[in-house]
Amino acid sequence: MSRKGIPDWSQPVAAGDGLFFAWEEPRRVFAAPLDLAVAREPGGAPALSLELIRIDGGPSGPQVFGQLAVRFAGRFAIAERQQAVFALHPEAKVEPLAPLGGFLRFQAAGAVDLPDDLLAPRPLVWAGSGSLSFAARLGTAAANLLHGALVDGLVPVAAVAEVEARGMARRAPARASFDPARLSGVLAAAASEGTWRAGPIAEALLGIDDAAVFRIDGAATDATRLAAAQACADRLIGRWGRLAPAADPAKGTAFALDTAAMAAGSVTWDLSDEAVVPRGFVLASSPLETARLALADGFTLTRDAPVVPFATGLHVVSLYANLPPHRVGVLMMSTELRAPPFPPDRPQTVAAAATFRDGETAKSVSIRLSPAESLAFDYQTVAFVTGSGGAQRLAGPVLHHEGALLTIAPSSFPVRFVRLEAAPAVLDLMRLRVTCSGTRAGAPWSAAASLDQDTPSAALALPRDVDDAVLAVAATALDGSRTLAVDSRPAEDLYLDLSALPGWGPAKADLACAFDGDATVAAVECAPEDRLDDPDAVGLVRMTPSAPAREWRWLVTDPLRPGFCWRWFRPAGETAAPWSDPVDPAAGTLRLTSSARADAPSVETVR
């Protein structure tokens, strides 16, 4: 099975941190995120909300708790990192490496003490199209502190995330043999509060002098033994590890090893073989600073829910639906809660419902049970979608939940969301129209969404019985002058960075000159058609009778204008020749004649 399309952890790119060549694809580079930013919602608001729920009349007086929901997106700086890679590897194209999930915790600068429910790491869940969602139910102290940090900006609160991606393990020309059960006992000394990092694991492996526990064959030097130990550490994490919150994220991400599953026996690994393993990245984030600036611009991110009167048996349930904020093809989403009778204290069924309108992803509902029972209920999601006969009600499976915070998994909904998101660098150049088409009950079915600077993300709601669904993307320049079609693809979550558009990135043109006179050199200047006025983008190409063919390389920064222009070189002091019309590098070799040097160059292209 081909493993192309993943990063190779053995092949970092010297052009910057977090850059890795793709496995078996030397012209492709993956860029891990530099940090996490709060994603944007339609209209420009950050994807962050804090809901304050107050309970009055209890024995301890008024109580407040909060529900915080944030959607994060990685910041990749693809254009800038592409420039750095191009200087070393002019044929390599950089693309984002989206994290699959992880954990996030808040931190405060200086001597500020944060409540434990803010310091505690909480899951970051893959939310499609390169996004990660975060939801937390907060106690009184944490809710009030965050509210003050947002509204008043008095508390400098930041966040740190630990995320993971999967790639090809490091390799070494050696073999490792070990007894997993005995090795797990040795590795216990390398743990830090129940978690492991690859570096300490490799050091522990090198310190084992009992061949019955662990040995390396085929590595004769200290350097090769270290490389083998690192390759083995990668594989141990890939086989028995899972990402876990680190005791100190500043030292790097950590993994929990399932030592109970490391059964006694004899295992031999060829460390030069392929193995797909996770690698962690620690990313900084400033979600509250982003939100505070948005509040200053007039956006509303905090909300006081209606005061809930205290009563015995009354519970307030926080629902986080993990829904994309802008949903196309669905009229309304809701979640229905039902608690079956609990005789003799409560003979009747109790029901409640929360409706999620477009833009809403979190709600709170109250449910009154008997004082003698714990909080438990069944829930079912409902979606109203557009159909040939009008609105149609679809219902998800009936599921059971216990506790006051309900995070609803995407699989719980009766529709499948195809999440779409475009990077700001894309929407600064063009508008996108994404059409999803397929068949439903034997009839054609389609839905379409538009992405622009005001609506950078959306989600197409597909009933789960839609078959053979595919996406087609059409890009149009902001002034409407040019269009670009992107190849159709299966209907899956789509994150459109510049690297996903055809024509963007490294480009090459072939030039050849026929010398038909006494000239000993023919020099032309070339420039990308979108940067003719940038002196740093202009390149000089010299051809001679002994070397009449040359190539010129450049970076296409605007995929709607992927061509280049050329002109005859003129020394300083002479009026510059006019630029040619844009030339498509795919058209073939640009053929010139040395005697044709003039104000209006004559060009012949051949395939």
Q: In terms of pTM, does the model score above 0.85?
A: no
The pLDDT tens digits for 104-117 are: 998 876 656 778 88
Calpha distance 190→194 (Å, rounded) = 9
Read off the tokens for 166.
């999967």
Average pLDDT, the chain: 87
The predicted structure's pLDDT at residue 263: 92
Calpha distance 152→304 (Å, rounded) = 16
The predicted structure's pLDDT at residue 111: 56
Q: Provide the residue ranges of all domains of the chain, joining segments of one domain with +.
A: 1-169+277-310, 170-273, 312-413, 416-500, 505-606
Confidence of residue 309 (pLDDT cuts 50, 70, 90): low
Query: Which CATH number fits the domain 312-413, given the four candidates 3.30.70, 1.10.3470, 2.40.128, 2.60.40?
Result: 2.60.40
Neighbours of 234 (CB within 10 A): 27
Calpha distance 435→390 (Å, rounded) = 21
Calpha distance 426→430 (Å, rounded) = 6
The predicted structure's pLDDT at residue 604: 40
CB 397 within 8 A of CB 410: no
The predicted structure's pLDDT at residue 305: 62
The predicted structure's pLDDT at residue 388: 62
Highest mean pLDDT among 36-45, 277-286, 383-392: 277-286
CB 595 within 8 A of CB 571: no
**Amino acid at residue number 476:** T
Calpha distance 34→73 (Å, rounded) = 11
**Amino acid at residue number 14:** A
Which among 242, 266, 245, 270 has a CA at the least distance from the CA of 256? 242
- Give the list of residues 6+ apart from residue 186 with CB closer than 8 angstroms, or none: 204, 208, 213, 214
- Give the list of residues 6+ apart from residue 207 with CB closer than 8 angstroms, or none: none
Confidence of residue 607 (pLDDT cuts 50, 70, 90): very low
The pLDDT tens digits for 545-602 are: 999 999 999 999 999 999 999 999 988 888 888 999 999 988 889 999 988 875 434 3
Confidence of residue 605 (pLDDT cuts 50, 70, 90): very low
> What angle is formed at CA 145 by the lines to CA 140 and CA 151, rounded to 5 degrees?
125
Helix (H) or strand (E) segment spanning residue 437:
strand 430-440
The label of the residue with tokens 């270290």 reads 226
pLDDT at residue 312 greater than cutoff 70:
no
Angle, to 10 degrees, between the axis of helix 222-240 and the axis of helix 198-206?
130
pLDDT at residue 328 greater than cutoff 80:
yes
Confidence of residue 606 (pLDDT cuts 50, 70, 90): very low
The predicted structure's pLDDT at residue 62: 62
- Give the list of residues 6+ apart from residue 54 with CB closer than 8 angstroms, or none: 62, 63, 64, 304, 305, 307, 308
Confidence of residue 61 (pLDDT cuts 50, 70, 90): low
Read off the tokens for 517.
């006179």
What is the number of residues in the chain?
607
The predicted structure's pLDDT at residue 603: 40
The predicted structure's pLDDT at residue 299: 72
Confidence of residue 245 (pLDDT cuts 50, 70, 90): very high
Calpha distance 423→131 (Å, rounded) = 12
Average pLDDT over residues 230-254: 94
The predicted structure's pLDDT at residue 599: 44
Q: Can 312-413 and 505-606 be said to share one CATH topology?
A: yes
Calpha distance 425→557 (Å, rounded) = 10
The predicted structure's pLDDT at residue 135: 84
The predicted structure's pLDDT at residue 140: 83
CB 317 within 8 A of CB 367: yes
The pLDDT tens digits for 344-400 are: 888 999 999 999 887 777 788 888 898 888 899 999 999 998 766 678 899 999 999
The pLDDT tens digits for 436-450 are: 999 998 889 999 999
Q: How would you classify the pairing of strands 35-38 and 19-22?
A: unpaired
pLDDT at residue 78 greater than cutoff 90:
yes
The predicted structure's pLDDT at residue 154: 59
CATH number of 505-606: 2.60.40
Calpha distance 195→104 (Å, rounded) = 17
The label of the residue with tokens 């043109």 reads 509
Calpha distance 588→208 (Å, rounded) = 61
Query: Among residues of the chain, what percentage have pLDDT more than 70?
Result: 92
Lowest mean pLDDT among 74-88, 284-298, 400-414: 284-298
Query: Among residues of the chain, what percentage have pLDDT more than 90?
Result: 53
Angle, to 10 degrees, between the axis of helix 287-296 and the axis of helix 140-151?
50
Pick the residue with more confidence: 525 or 53?
525
Average pLDDT over residues 490-507: 90
Calpha distance 245→172 (Å, rounded) = 29
The label of the residue with tokens 């061509």 reads 563
Residues forming a β-bridge with 176: 216, 269
CB 364 within 8 A of CB 319: yes
pLDDT at residue 56 greater than cutoff 50:
yes
Pick the residue with more confidence: 183 or 307?
183
The predicted structure's pLDDT at residue 360: 79
The pLDDT tens digits for 399-418 are: 999 988 888 887 899 999 99
> Is the previous residue joined to 46 through a cis bond, with omega within 30 degrees of 0?
no
CB 176 within 8 A of CB 232: yes
Average pLDDT over residues 156-181: 93
CB 455 within 8 A of CB 324: no
